Amino acid sequence: MLTYLFLHLNKWKKRPFLYVLLFTFPLLATVILYPLLKNTADETAVPVAIVDQDDSGYSETILERIGNSERIRFTVMDESEAEEAVRKGSMEAAFVLEDGLESALNEGDVDDVITWIRADESLFDVYAKEAVGAEVMRLAMSARAGLRVEQEGGSFEEAFDYSEQYWEPEPLFQMSFSERSPENQAVEAPKLESWQVLIMQVFFLYGWVLAIFFLRAVQDDEREGRLQRIELVQQTKVNYFISHFLLFGIVGAGSFLLGTSGLFYITGTERELVLAWLGRGVVVMAVTLFVTWCLFMGAGRKRWVVPVLVLVALASFMLTVSDTGFTGLWPHCLLEKGG
């Protein structure tokens, strides 16, 4: 096999950029496109204006905590600027942290400490309203606990901090949601995001098609008489076909695995999920490539076989992604079931 590997490496090294690019395209696409996708996601965060009239420790804490939310993008403005921005539509809403917020919260009073400015066109500001409200409520509860303890002769700060710890890293009392689908009544394990599965499907298609195009090297060897020469020189064609099957597998599975591993690494996917999906991906790819090779050999390695196999690969992807019902045993469908 090494002789043939060196042969192809020798051929590829004449146009190194093209072949490296072809092989690593999914990985490069992930590395290049992921920050753009992430920026797009950032840009879809709800834009809100915050007017800090209290300018206190509590208002600073609220700003800091809201800033940690990926779904809210806030800008500090004065009240007139904020009203103008909401009116023009550049901000979904504005929240005015009223003067006296800290002293009101210390007394356990949560009424009228925040003013919510919105326009008729505002749609997504409700989420921001919930987030700001939750932070105010959190501070109010901790302050109320501190006040109560202080009245009993204890320290306000100690009680405040003691109460706060029950919110980190997540609130102590949380609603526990479990997802349920009609097919599966049980609680489901963690899943890949649907866009991650889609990208994996694209990488699978890419690896498969790349491997199919590699088959043209075998067709060329046969058409141009090199295979006959190899048969005489080696006294058999078996080694040639075994080596080229292995190289065909390396091209297809290698490109797929490289791209998918890069995707998982960059998105910080859980190890358990990575192993499960990569394992399944390798098995489905190996079976797919084996069947593809058998079809190629069975059809006599004719010239029309390559375009037909590419069409089969595209059909597998399109029918699975469009979910038209004609899925059955398509490789992409088997891959998707891994989730």
Contact residues toward other proteins (CB under 8 A) are 3, 6-7, 10-11, 14, 224-226, 228-235
CB of 298 to other proteins, least distance (A): 18
User: Which amino acid is located at 194 in the chain?
Assistant: S
CA distance 316 to 333: 8
CB of 233 to other proteins, least distance (A): 5
CA distance 71 to 208: 37
Nearer to other proteins, 3 or 155 (CB): 3
CB of 307 to other proteins, least distance (A): 23
Nearer to other proteins, 6 or 326 (CB): 6
Nearer to other proteins, 7 or 311 (CB): 7
Nearer to other proteins, 11 or 337 (CB): 11
Nearer to other proteins, 204 or 240 (CB): 240
Nearer to other proteins, 235 or 324 (CB): 235
CB of 317 to other proteins, least distance (A): 32
User: Which amino acid is located at 197 in the chain?
Assistant: V
The three-state secondary structure class of 72 is strand
DSSP string, 114-167: EEEEE-TT--SHHHHHHHHHHHHHHHHHHHHHHHHHHHTTS-HHHHHHHHHGGG
SS3 content of the chain, % helix, strand, coil (to 5): 65, 5, 25
User: Which amino acid is located at 277 in the chain?
Assistant: W
How far, in Å, are 208, 247, 300 from residue 235 at the CA level?
Answer: 31, 21, 21
Nearer to other proteins, 172 or 232 (CB): 232
CA distance 317 to 333: 8
CB of 28 to other proteins, least distance (A): 24
CB of 4 to other proteins, least distance (A): 9
The three-state secondary structure class of 52 is strand
CB of 16 to other proteins, least distance (A): 12
Nearer to other proteins, 39 or 236 (CB): 236
Secondary structure tally for the chain: helices H, strands E? 13, 4
CA distance 272 to 110: 44
DSSP string, 226-295: HHHHHHHHHS-SHHHHHHHHHHHHHHHHHHHHHHHHHHHHHHT--HHHHHHHHHHHHHHHHHHHHHHHHH
SS3 sequence, 94-120?
Answer: EEEECCCHHHHHHCCCCCCCEEEEECC
